[in-house]
C-alpha cells in the first residue's frame, strides 16, 4: 500500500510568458494506504492536471509531492482513463499481459482472477473490437488492478458510458476495490458517483484550490437505491452548488 503526500502544490502553465495561468494553488492533502479518494470540481478547475502531476506526466511548479510504498522501493502506479486504450490487435488476455513485468504462471493467474472479477472470463480470447464500450472499460479496470499497483489513478473512467452501464461498472469497481483495498485517486465531475465510491471527496474550486475535504462515512457496498447514499449525495451536491455560486463572486472564495 502507498501513502501519497501533497504539500503546498501549485501549477502554472506557460510560466514566464504572457499566457501564464495558475491552474492549481496551494494544494495540500495526504492519502493513506487503502483509501479511495475522489477529486471533484467544475470543468477546468484542475482535476486532470492534478492527476497528471501525481502520475509524473506533468511537472508541478512549486510545492512537494511524494509517494511511498510499504516495501520502501519505488511505488507502482496503475491508470484507468476515460478511454481504455486497449491495443486492438491483441486479445483481451494479451492486453492484460502486455503491461505485466513477467509471464509467470502467477501473473497469468492474477490476470485471469481480475478478468473473472469483471465477468469477462469467457471473453479472454476476444479482440477489443468484438467488445462493447462497457466491456472494454471493464478490461481496462481489470488490467489496472492486475498490475497490483500501490496507487491506482482513475480519470473519469465511466464518463463515456451510458448511465446503466456506468452504474453496473461502479458496483463492480466497489467489489474489486473492497477485495484488493488498493489506494485509489479517482477524478470525476460526478458527485453522485464520488459519494457512492469514496472514503473521501476533495472538492476543487475554480482557480485550483481545495474548497472542501469531505469524509464519506457510509457502510459498503453502497448502492444508489440506498436512501442514506441518496441523502448524502444530495447534501454534497448542494455544497458543490454553493461553491459554484460563491465562485461567481470571486472575493468569497479567495
Ligand atoms: N498543457 C496545458 N497548457 C496550458 N493550459 C493547460 C494545459 N493543460 C491544461 N490546461 C488548462 O488548465 C486548466 C485545468 O485543466 P484540467 O484539464 O486539469 O481541468 P479539469 O478540472 O480536469 O477539467 P474537465 O473536468 O473539463 O476535464 C484548464 O483551464 C486548461 O485549459
Look at the chain and report how many structural domains it folds into: 1
- Say if ligand 1 is within 6 A of residue 208 CB: no
- Say if ligand 1 is within 6 A of residue 17 CB: no
Distance from residue 202's CA to the centre of ligand 1 (Å) = 17
Q: What is the separation, in whole angstroms, between the first and last Cα of the chain?
A: 35
Residue 36, in any domain of the structure: yes
Tell me how far CA of residue 19 lies from CA of 50, 180, 246, in angstroms: 20, 44, 26
pLDDT for 74 beyond 60: yes
Distance from residue 118's CA to the centre of ligand 1 (Å) = 31
Residue 244, in any domain of the structure: yes
Name the residue at shortest CA distance from atom 29 of ligand 1: 44
Q: pTM of the entire structure?
A: 0.91
pLDDT for 35 beyond 70: yes
Peptide bond before 40: cis, by omega within 30 degrees of 0?
Answer: no
- Say if ligand 1 is within 6 A of residue 22 CB: no
Residue 119, in any domain of the structure: no
User: What are the tens digits of pLDDT across the range 125-175?
Assistant: 999 999 999 999 999 999 999 999 999 999 999 988 888 888 888 988 999
Residue 222, in any domain of the structure: yes
Is residue 72 very low, low, confident or very high in pLDDT (cuts 50, 70, 90)? confident
CB environment 49-62: b (16+ within 10 A), e (fewer):
bbbbbbbeebebbe
What average pLDDT does this structure show over 13-19? 91
Q: Which domain holds residue 32?
A: 2-76+150-158+190-252
Closest atom of ligand 1 to 187 CA is 22
* Complex ipTM > 0.95: yes
| Mean pLDDT value across the chain | 91
Here the cell at position 174 is: 466497489
Distance from residue 44's CA to the centre of ligand 1 (Å) = 5
Name the residue at shortest CA distance from atom 5 of ligand 1: 13
Half-sphere exposure of 100 (CA within 13 A, CB side): 21
Is residue 251 very low, low, confident or very high in pLDDT (cuts 50, 70, 90)? low
Residue 12, in any domain of the structure: yes
Residue 139, in any domain of the structure: no
User: What are the tens digits of pLDDT across the range 164-207?
Assistant: 888 888 988 999 999 888 899 999 989 989 999 999 999 999 98
Q: What is the CATH number of the domain that holds 222?
A: 3.40.50.300
pLDDT for 252 beyond 70: no
Burial category of 117 from C-beta neighbours within 10 Å (exposed 0-12, middle 13-18, buried 19 and up)? buried
Here the cell at position 24 is: 492549481
Residue 124, in any domain of the structure: no
CB neighbour list of residue 56: distance below 8 Å, 6 or more residues apart: 77
Name the residue at shortest CA distance from atom 13 of ligand 1: 44
Tell me how far CA of residue 61 lies from CA of 8, 11, 31, 185, in angstroms: 10, 5, 21, 21
Residue 86, in any domain of the structure: no
Amino acid at each position: 500500500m502507498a501513502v501519497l503526500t501533497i504539500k503546498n502544490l501549485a501549477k502554472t502553465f506557460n510560466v514566464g510568458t504572457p499566457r501564464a495561468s495558475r491552474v492549481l494553488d496551494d494544494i495540500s492533502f495526504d492519502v493513506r494506504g487503502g483509501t479511495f479518494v475522489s477529486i471533484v470540481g467544475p470543468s477546468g478547475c484542475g482535476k486532470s492536471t492534478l492527476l497528471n502531476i501525481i502520475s509524473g506526466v506533468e511537472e508541478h511548479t512549486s510545492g512537494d509531492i511524494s509517494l511511498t510504498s510499504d516495501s520502501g522501493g519505488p511505488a507502482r502506479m496503475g491508470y484507468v482513463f476515460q478511454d481504455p486504450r486497449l491495443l486492438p490487435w491483441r486479445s483481451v488476455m494479451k492486453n492484460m499481459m502486455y503491461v505485466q513485468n513477467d509471464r509467470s504462471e502467477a501473473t497469468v493467474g492474477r490476470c485471469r482472477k481480475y478478468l473473472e472479477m469483471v465477468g469477462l472470463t469467457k471473453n479472454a480470447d476476444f479482440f477489443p473490437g468484438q467488445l462493447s464500450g462497457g466491456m472494454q472499460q471493464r478490461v481496462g479496470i481489470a488490467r489496472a488492478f492486475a498490475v497490483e499497483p500501490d496507487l491506482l489513478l482513475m480519470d473519469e473512467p465511466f464518463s463515456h458510458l451510458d448511465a446503466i452501464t456506468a452504474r453496473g461498472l461502479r458496483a463492480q469497481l466497489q467489489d474489486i476495490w473492497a477485495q484488493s483495498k488498493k489506494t485509489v485517486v479517482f477524478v470525476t465531475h460526478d458527485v453522485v458517483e464520488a459519494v457512492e465510491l469514496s472514503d473521501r471527496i476533495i472538492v476543487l474550486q475554480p482557480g485550483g484550490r481545495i474548497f472542501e475535504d469531505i469524509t464519506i462515512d457510509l457502510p459498503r457496498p453502497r448502492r444508489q437505491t440506498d436512501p442514506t447514499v441518496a441523502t448524502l449525495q444530495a447534501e454534497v451536491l448542494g455544497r458543490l452548488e454553493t461553491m459554484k455560486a460563491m465562485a461567481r463572486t470571486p472575493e468569497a472564495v479567495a
